[in-house]
Amino acid sequence: MDKDMGLGLFRDLGVRLLLISVFFLCLKGPAHARYAAIIMNAHTGQIIHQENPDKITHPASLTKMMTLYKAFQALANGKLTFNQLLPVSRHASCQAPCKLGLRAGQTIKVKDAMMALITKSANDAAVVLAEALGKTESQFAIQMTAQAKQLGMRHTVFKNASGLPNYQQVTTARDMAKLSQALIQHFPNYYGYFSARDFQFKGKSHRNHNHLVGEVIGYGKNGPVIVDGIKTGFINASGFNLAASAKHSKDRLIGVVMGGDNRHWRDRRMKQLLTWAFGVEESTPCLINASASIGERGVPPPHPPQSFGKKAVKQKKKKPHIKKGKQKASKKNKAKPKAKKKTKPIKKAKPKKNSKKRVPVKKA
């Protein structure tokens, strides 16, 4: 009995230590300290490149990929239909941005809710789907975690459907790559929705947060490399996250970058790694072996500088230091532009009459 109690206490202590370590991860320094990345062959699962792939971090809105996985699953099983109207609860309407601004008592179509997750990353729409599939968001999160374990995502725990901050909601770059691969392989008919650049809802256009979607990031022997999905994410605790998939002819790669300093740095790093892994020339200059095949890249490209993407601060030009006395003198010495004098028209001088009177000359 004492032995069982000791084992129970030991397990409780282990769980508490894990939660404490995750809590301090939230308070950690800059986002680049939590950087992790992985490049995977979407067809074979071969890992081409990895940096800290099993580092524990927070998924942020990459969480919505699992929410969408469960929604696609329900569509395939007939539990949901695209045109089905879902009710908006008060809990869903109270979610923090980004969101569509849904109000309690309204309804939204399943397809609109899904597109809102893919493009705008709407948290209120995520909760609407969660409550439709799991009755409550917390119960749906349990289903999400169970599904993650089935997909081999060993280090992932979900606590909500949106990815809003929760220190217990954790994942790794490797697990997010596995989830991306599952979405592509298990739901090829629905994966195409991730390539939408915008989404129209009630007369308003919402642009996709994934700015790489549809972009040609490189060129090779078999044509261009085009990014066609999948999801972005950001909270302060995680930094800027991105799961992306790109296609080059018949080949497809999946990339995951976690903990970027800003979205520009994160996107730049993703383009570097994908073009390098494909062995193609990047749309911007990059020294790589363009004749190599997938997985035979050699040394991966270096990270972009940490300042990449940050707005440059304009420095004011310093005025030369001038003493007050000299400054006054210089002001006096400054030549003011002379005003043009109005020239009066010159009057012609009249010929003066001879003042001397002529003396008449008498004739002899």
β-partners of residue 107 are 87
Task: Please provide residue 87's backbone torsions phi and psi, each rounded to the nearest 5 degrees.
Answer: -75, 150
User: How far from 168 is each of 96, 157, 163, 177, CA to CA, in Å?
Assistant: 18, 7, 11, 20
Non-local (6+) Cβ contacts of 69 within 8 A are 147, 179, 182, 183, 186, 187
Give the three-class secondary structure for 93: helix
Give the model's pLDDT for residue 341: 55
Do the beta carbons of residue 42 and residue 184 sit within 8 Å? Answer: yes
Buried b or exposed e, range 89-103, using 16+ CB within 10 angstroms: beebbebeebbbebe
pLDDT per residue of the chain (364 residues) written in tens, 0 to 9: 444 545 454 455 544 554 444 444 443 434 457 899 999 999 999 999 999 999 999 999 999 999 999 999 999 999 999 999 999 999 999 999 999 999 999 999 999 999 999 999 999 999 999 999 999 999 999 999 999 999 999 999 999 999 999 999 999 999 999 999 999 999 999 999 999 999 999 989 999 999 999 999 999 888 999 999 999 999 999 999 999 999 999 999 999 999 999 999 999 999 999 999 999 877 654 433 333 445 445 577 777 776 666 654 344 444 555 555 545 444 445 555 555 555 555 555 555 555 445 545 554 4
For residue 72, the surrounding DSSP H or E stretch is: helix 63-77
d(CA 71, CA 140): 11
The domain locations on the chain are 23-282
CATH C-level class of 23-282: alpha beta
Q: Which long-range contacts (CB under 8 A, 24 or more apart) does 283-290 make?
A: 283/216, 283/217, 283/218, 283/219, 290/220, 290/221
Token duo for residue 179: 């989830």
User: How far from 94 is each of 71, 89, 97, CA to CA, in Å?
Assistant: 22, 9, 9
pTM of the model: 0.74
Give the model's pLDDT for residue 304: 74
Amino acid of residue 149: K
d(CA 142, CA 129): 14
Amino acid of residue 189: N
d(CA 234, CA 184): 23
Give the model's pLDDT for residue 34: 86
